[in-house]
Chains A and B, each alone.
Chain A
Amino acid sequence: MSVLVVAEHDNSEIAPATLNTVTAAAEIGGDITVLVAGSGSAAAADAAAKIAGVSKVLHADSAEYANGLAENVAPLVVALATGYSHVLAPATSFGKNVLPRAAALLDVQQISEISGVVDADTFVRPIYAGNAMATVKSSDAVKVITVRTTAFDAAASEGGSAAVEAADAKGDSGLTSYVGAELSSSERPELTSAKIVISGGRGMQNGENFAMLEEVADKLGAAVGASRAAVDAGFVPNDYQVGQTGKVVAPDLYIAVGISGAIQHLAGMKDSKVIVAINKDEEAPIFQVADYGLVADLFEAVPALSKELDG
């Protein structure tokens, strides 16, 4: 067996999601090769070579891979996939965009967002927003898989010494071009890899009130998230959204503030180790999954929490 992991990176650093995907690859077994497709991406390839457990890095460095466009990356994955038993990518907006395109070109039925490896052919994945867990077996010659990153620990980013080999670029498809991006810049940890997450819901009432959560987040070294209701109401940008249709998180501590606990939100955070809910409605469904529930007005409780953390 041999596994090809399609790395997510920004040309200089490897995204944490790639490390979780390497762990899933290790659970499948066999040699692990990491593909770094980028432009001016030598630093990312070198970082990939240091990941513990990786035996080889394939580095395709060309202008058409600068922004990870699926139309360019998928044919590269397809060209390299022969010779591997499995092709894995993180189930992030990058992996979800690229991998099904490669799977269709390989005539393979992809297995999306696995949360467990049973054996080399059999995997567990959540369906119906995590309300059911399906165990599926693939008979395709190459298994094409995206990985729910919160379900696998991160591989160590240091300790490996894989060889970096150049891979031939496949050219620009000419179908799409990158125009630009508006990325949220924050000093806080990334939502999906943070050890602590504090999220606000509709109960926050407006975007300005999220400053209260940011204050607590900074004291805890936490990331700030939001429910779909808060994003749809325009309180915070879309990349804050935790839930089935947003990001799936599983931190050590998840603090839900003014969030009722709709199924779609729970699907995105119920695998957190410890859940705290602060809500003035004691009937709110969030309390059914919370380890510690505080029935209180968040406009009193959150400032009090901030103060208590100083003590």
Chain B
Amino acid sequence: MKVLVPVKRVIDYNVKVRVKADQTGVELANVKMSMNPFDEISVEEAIRLKEAGTATEVIAVSLGAQQCQETIRTALAMGADRGIHVLHDGDLEPLAVAKMLKAVVDKEQPELVILGKQAIDDDANQTGQMLAALLGWGQATFASKIEMGDGEAKVTREIDGGLETISLKLPAIVTTDLRLNEPRYASLPNIMKAKKKPIDQYSPDDLGVDPAPRLETLKVEEPAKREAGVKVADVAELVSKLRTEAKVI
């Protein structure tokens, strides 16, 4: 069974994001970039399926600028077998990404695609669901546990009220939530080995997809700032202020 794992290059989650002065976006120059944390969880899950003998090959896919190859190399160093890079300079929206991933799925015929539930840059939370729709496959979003069976998968999902378990026919789409696993760090020998693993490159044109954005971003602003308030001396003062000043209890 082949497993396809899309990975996105985003601003590292430890970086404090700054809005550009001209309000056209956020500052990306000289900012540390990394693999989207939810995608690291996807890569880890795919590698564990391979280690368990369920998956035979793990393919990491990334879409975007040339530097996305670094993100693919990270997945390869973790243990993915090979990479696919769809080169495109410019913004990509989830619908266009899902269409290009569908074309990659049509070529590679994986039985499982594991995606992060959302990317920490645009916070869209759409690509997995859209890919499932375009392929006509079942989807298990926000997964915290995956059990592979014969021609099907049982997935526990994190939902607002607790946990829900669904069963999916394969092939299928899974999107990962935080508690699915803890991603490994790549070892130095594996980082060296990853440099020799193959990465195929395509253009959106090769895949027959128009990547032009549908949404126009008019401006990007700083959120309203919250002012720090006062320190209270003790619990009695706190309760008194909540009662008489803030009037919330």
Across-interface contacts of A179 in B (CB, < 8 A) = 154, 165-167
Determine whether A85 belongs to the interface, using a CB cutoff of 8 Å to chain B.
no
Q: Give the residues in chain A near B98, CB-CB below 8 Å.
A: 104
Within the complex, the shortest CB–CB distance from A61 to chain B, in Å, comes to: 21
User: Which of A19-27, A206-214, A284-292 sits within the interface?
Assistant: A284-292
B122 within 8 A of A: yes
Segment from A32-40, A50-58, A122-130, A160-168 that makes contact with B: A122-130
If A100-B94, A176-B169 touch, does A128 touch B124 (CB 8 Å cutoff)? no
Supposing A132-B222, A291-B246 touch, asked if A175 and B216 sit within 8 A by C-beta, the answer is: no
Given A232-B179, A292-B230, residue A181 in contact with residue B159 (CB < 8 A): yes
Nearest CB in chain B: distance from A15 CB, A: 9
Specify which chain B residues have a CB less than 8 angstroms from the CB of A79 in the assembled complex: none
| Stretch in contact with the other chain, from B44-52, B74-82, B131-139 | B131-139
A43 interface residue (CB < 8 Å to B): no
Q: Provide 9 A-B residue pairs closer than 8 Å at the C-beta atoms, listed in order of the A residue.
A: A104-B130, A108-B214, A109-B94, A128-B123, A133-B220, A138-B215, A178-B166, A183-B162, A304-B235
Residues of B within 8 A of A (CB): 11, 16-17, 19, 26, 93-95, 98, 118, 120-134, 136-142, 144, 154, 157-169, 172, 177-179, 213-223, 226, 228-232, 234-236, 238-239, 241-242, 246, 248-249
Q: A100-B126, A252-B248, A305-B235 are in contact. Are A292 and B241 (CB under 8 A)?
A: yes
A288 touching B228 in the complex, CB below 8 Å, given contacts A74-B133, A92-B160, A276-B242: yes
List A100-159 residues whose CB lies under 8 Å from chain B. Answer: 100-105, 107-113, 122, 126-140
Residue of chain A at shortest CB distance from B222: A132
A273: contacting residue among B132, B162, B166, B248, CB under 8 A:
B248
Using Cβ atoms and an 8 Å threshold, which residues of chain B touch A176?
Answer: 138-140, 166-169, 172
Q: Is the CB of A308 within 8 A of B160?
A: no
A132 touches B130 (CB 8 A): no
A274 pairs with B246, CB closer than 8 A? yes
B95 touching A127, Cβ below 8 Å: no
Contacting A305 at CB < 8 Å: which of B121, B138, B238, B246?
A: B238
Which residues from chain A contact B239 at a C-beta distance below 8 Å? 305, 308-309
Whether B95 contacts A134 by the Cβ 8 Å rule is: no
Q: Provided the pairs A132-B223, A176-B166 are in contact, do residues A238 and B158 lie with their beta carbons within 8 angstroms?
A: yes
Task: Decide yes or no whether A283 CB sits under 8 A from chain B.
Answer: no
Q: Quick one: which of A97, A182, A295 contacts B162, CB cutoff 8 A?
A: A182
Lowest 10 A-B CB distances belong to which pairs? Answer: A175-B138, A104-B130, A291-B229, A100-B129, A109-B214, A104-B133, A100-B126, A179-B165, A176-B138, A253-B248
Q: Is A238 touching B249 in the complex (CB atoms < 8 A)?
A: no
Known pairs A70-B132, A135-B221, A292-B232; list 9 more (Cβ under 8 Å). A94-B159, A103-B126, A104-B133, A128-B17, A173-B138, A176-B166, A179-B166, A239-B160, A309-B249
Let me know if B164 and A140 touch, CB within 8 A.
no
The dominant DSSP class at the A interface is mixed
Measured between C-beta atoms, what is the minimum distance from A290 to chain B in Å? 6
Q: Are B223 and A104 in contact (CB under 8 A)?
A: no
Chain B contacts for A196, CB-based, 8 A? 248-249
Interface residues of A (CB under 8 A from B): 67, 69-71, 74, 92-94, 96-105, 107-113, 122, 126-140, 173-184, 192, 196, 220, 228, 231-232, 237-239, 244-245, 247, 252-253, 263, 270, 273-276, 282, 287-296, 301, 304-305, 308-309
**With contacts A113-B123, A237-B162, A291-B229 known, is A131 near B167, CB below 8 A?**
no
Asked if A220 meets B166 with Cβ closer than 8 Å, knowing A291-B229, A294-B234, the reply is no
Task: Known contacts A252-B248, A274-B246; decide if A177 and B167 are in contact (CB<8 Å).
Answer: yes
CB closest chain-B residue, reference A237: B162
Given that A128-B11, A136-B216, A175-B138 are contacting pairs, would A101 and B133 also be in contact in the complex, using a CB cutoff of 8 Å? yes
Looking at the assembled complex, report how far the CB atom of A117 sits from the nearest CB atom of chain B, in whole angstroms: 14
* Smallest beta-carbon distance A262→chain B, Å: 10
B139 touches A127 (CB 8 A): no
Residue of A nearest to B134 (CB): A104
Shortest distance between the CB of B40 and any CB in chain A (Å) = 14
| A175–B154 CA distance with the chains assembled, in angstroms | 12
Q: Is the beta-carbon distance between A253 and B26 smaller than 8 angstroms?
A: no
User: Nearest Cβ distance between residue B237 and chain A, in whole angstroms?
Assistant: 8
**How close is B55's CB to chain A, nearest CB, in angstroms?**
21
- Chain A's closest residue to B135 (CB) is A104
Closest to A222 in B: B249
The answer to whether B223 touches A101, judged by C-beta atoms less than 8 angstroms apart, is no
- In the complex, chain B residues whose CB is within 8 Å of the CB of A237: 162-163
Assess A294 versus B235: contact at CB under 8 Å? Given A133-B221, A237-B162, A274-B248: yes
Assess whether A245 is in contact with B178, with CB atoms less than 8 Å apart.
yes
Chain A residue contacts of B230, Cβ below 8 A: 291-293
Determine the residue in chain A with the shortest Cβ distance to B239: A308
B163 near A132 (CB under 8 angstroms)?
no
Interchain CB contact under 8 A, A293 and B164: no
Give Cα A140 to B61, complex, Å.
28
Nearest A residue to B118 via CB reads A245
